[in-house]
């Protein structure tokens, strides 16, 4: 073969790559109000700085969030999630998603989030009492540098078990696979890159990837899973960027100019300490919000001599609740414990991060049999379960989230008395008075 022939053959092989355009996706999920840099969490300003850099260098970049942007820090809780969407505007989000925690202040609040956010909040399967979708749109179609991008938004069908029923009456959550069966065939011919932005959880997202091979990519959330490189399921990749802004996902998709589907998808997670210094404008906005809460939360309340995991904290928090109202025992659901405590100073802010929801303390009176059903919702056997007599009646101290779900499930078989006192305030008072034991 002559050199010229070899060159021609090589060009034929690599020409789709030479002609390829590149779409860059940056993604977060389960940010949970962590706009301020703190420990492993990057904070909004560092993420914003990186996003600005990439957007300045490339013509086709999207910043996506896969839901649960709010609830997790005092600044989110005190202002009912609103500052988070304002800060997300400064970060330059192009598209967001309604997660289960976006219902923490009642579904009507989502309208307010939509009004604040400059980016659309997607949902293709969460419906209000009137039967209308609760987001800005079920999907988004964008053309970036000639690349036709489709993004479908879906939330877990189990959402109603994850937020308080109060303020969230009459909602419907459609089956994600059913919605994809309708939307994927409709959107595939119109798109070069078809993405599912999902708040369903990594395991379930892997199953959806297997079922819907016409999706190029699933950008996931909800399970707070650290997926360092997107997992390949057949032709579909599944990504997720841990939680709380500890990482920013970066995905590069090479798309042939002819628009015959993506050639190559590569993804990685960038850890907080690998991100550049914070964007000053974003940091100024974050600081202005944080200044409104600092006086109330950056107060030392105790010192602890070891680390406490969520599993270790559960019985301690339960005892505090039980003691506060003289109940037989306490129940604090482990998924409601939103942070761990580390050796050293404990501040009120740390208790806010642990209990961001503003739940109140409720005394439930119920049979041992019903109590056992309640405790069986835990991911592992509850430490008190073996000692419970199904025949006896118990007074249980718990939070209003558990109490409202128990009332729905058991009806008149139980009585619930809401003290109206915030669980967070009780925890802060007790830990301040007695430390953690
Ligand atoms: Zn979630």
Q: How confident is the model at residue 20 (pLDDT cuts 50, 70, 90)?
A: confident
Closest CA to 46 of 61, 25, 28: 28
Per cent of the chain over pLDDT 70 is 95
Distance 365 CA to ligand 1 centre (A): 30
Distance 339 CA to ligand 1 centre (A): 15
Is 14-290 a CATH 1.10.3720.10 domain? no
Distance 221 CA to ligand 1 centre (A): 7
Q: What's the CA gap between 20 and 257, in Å, rounded?
A: 5
Distance 155 CA to ligand 1 centre (A): 8
Residues 348-388 pLDDT 10s: 999 999 999 999 999 999 999 999 999 999 999 999 999 99
Q: Which CATH architecture fits 298-434?
A: Alpha-Beta Complex (3.90)
154's tokens: 């879906």
183 touches 208 (CB < 8 A): no
Q: Where are the domains of the chain?
A: 14-290, 298-434
What does the pLDDT read at residue 257? 75
Distance 53 CA to ligand 1 centre (A): 29
Q: What's the CA gap between 240 and 134, in Å, rounded?
A: 24
| Strand ranges, E, within 95-242 | 96-97, 121-122, 126-127, 139-144, 147-155, 172-173, 193-199, 217-219, 231-233, 236-239
As residues whose CB is below 5 A from the ion ligand 1, the structure lists 68, 99-100, 222
Distance 59 CA to ligand 1 centre (A): 32
Residue 256 pLDDT greater than 90, yes or no: no
What is the arithmetic mean of pLDDT over 184-208?
Answer: 97
Sign of CA dihedral 317, 334, 157, 243: positive
Distance 66 CA to ligand 1 centre (A): 9
Distance 423 CA to ligand 1 centre (A): 21
Q: pTM for this one?
A: 0.88
What is the arithmetic mean of pLDDT over 324-338?
Answer: 96
Distance 240 CA to ligand 1 centre (A): 12
Q: How confident is the model at residue 94 (pLDDT cuts 50, 70, 90)?
A: very high
Distance 168 CA to ligand 1 centre (A): 16
85 touches 111 (CB < 8 A): no
Q: 47: phi > 0 → left, psi -120 to 50 → alpha, else beta; which?
A: alpha
Distance 258 CA to ligand 1 centre (A): 38
What does the pLDDT read at residue 3? 65
SS3 2: coil
Residue 6 pLDDT greater than 80, yes or no: no
SS3 330: strand
3-state helix, strand, coil in the chain (%, to 5): 40, 25, 35
Q: What's the CA gap between 201 and 335, in Å, rounded?
A: 14
Per cent of the chain over pLDDT 90 is 92
Distance 165 CA to ligand 1 centre (A): 16
Distance 294 CA to ligand 1 centre (A): 27
Please, what is the average pLDDT of the chain?
A: 94
Distance 194 CA to ligand 1 centre (A): 23
Closest CA to 21 of 145, 131, 134, 118: 145
Q: What's the CA gap between 425 and 437, in Å, rounded?
A: 18
Distance 100 CA to ligand 1 centre (A): 5
Q: How confident is the model at residue 5 (pLDDT cuts 50, 70, 90)?
A: low
What does the pLDDT read at residue 19? 66
What is the arithmetic mean of pLDDT over 106-133?
Answer: 98
Q: What's the CA gap between 198 and 205, in Å, rounded?
A: 8
What does the pLDDT read at residue 373? 96
φ/ψ of residue 122, rounded to 5 = -90, 145
Distance 101 CA to ligand 1 centre (A): 6
Distance 158 CA to ligand 1 centre (A): 10
Residue 394 pLDDT greater than 70, yes or no: yes
What does the pLDDT read at residue 18? 56
Residues 295-308 pLDDT 10s: 989 999 999 999 99
């Amino acid at each position: 073969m002559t050199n010229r022939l070899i060159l021609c053959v090589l060009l034929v092989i690599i020409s789709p790559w030479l002609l390829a355009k590149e779409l860059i996706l940056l993604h977060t999920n389960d940010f949970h109000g962590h706009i301020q840099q703190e420990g492993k969490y990057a904070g909004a300003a560092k993420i914003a700085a990186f996003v600005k850099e990439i957007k300045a260098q490339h013509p086709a970049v999207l910043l996506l969030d896969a839901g649960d942007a709010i609830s997790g820090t005092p600044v989110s809780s005190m202002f009912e999630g609103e500052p988070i969407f304002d800060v997300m505007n400064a970060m330059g989000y192009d598209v967001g998603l309604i997660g289960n925690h976006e219902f923490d202040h009642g579904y009507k609040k989502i309208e307010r989030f939509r009004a604040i956010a400059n980016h659309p909040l997607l949902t293709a399967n969460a419906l209000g009492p009137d039967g209308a979708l609760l987001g800005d749109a079920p999907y988004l179609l964008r053309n970036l540098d000639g690349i036709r991008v489709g993004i479908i938004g879906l939330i877990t069908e189990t959402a109603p078990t994850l937020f308080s029923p109060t303020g969230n009456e009459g909602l419907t959550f459609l089956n994600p696979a059913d919605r994809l069966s309708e939307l994927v065939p409709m959107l595939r011919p119109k798109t070069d890159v078809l993405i599912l932005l999902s708040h369903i959880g990594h395991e379930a997202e892997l199953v959806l990837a297997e079922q819907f091979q016409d999706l190029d990519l699933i950008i996931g959330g909800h399970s707070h899973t650290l997926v360092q490189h997107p997992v390949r399921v057949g032709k579909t990749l599944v990504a997720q960027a841990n939680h709380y802004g500890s990482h920013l996902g970066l995905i590069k998709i090479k798309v042939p100019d002819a628009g015959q589907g993506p050639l190559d998808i590569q993804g990685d997670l960038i850890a907080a300490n690998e991100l550049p210094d914070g964007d000053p404008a974003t940091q100024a906005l974050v600081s202005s919000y944080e200044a409104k809460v600092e006086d109330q939360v950056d107060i030392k309340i105790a010192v602890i001599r070891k680390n406490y995991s969520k599993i270790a904290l559960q019985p301690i928090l339960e005892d505090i609740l039980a003691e506060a109202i003289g109940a037989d025992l306490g129940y604090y659901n482990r998924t409601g414990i939103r942070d761990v405590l580390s050796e050293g100073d404990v501040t009120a802010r740390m208790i806010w991060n642990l209990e961001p929801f503003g739940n109140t303390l409720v005394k439930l009176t119920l049979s041992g049999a019903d109590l056992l059903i309640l405790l069986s919702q835990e991911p592992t056997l509850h430490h008190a379960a073996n000692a419970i007599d199904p025949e006896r009646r118990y007074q249980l101290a718990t939070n209003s989230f558990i109490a409202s779900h128990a009332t729905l499930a058991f009806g008149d078989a139980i009585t619930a008395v809401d003290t109206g006192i915030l669980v967070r305030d009780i925890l802060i008072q007790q830990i301040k008075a007695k430390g953690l034991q």
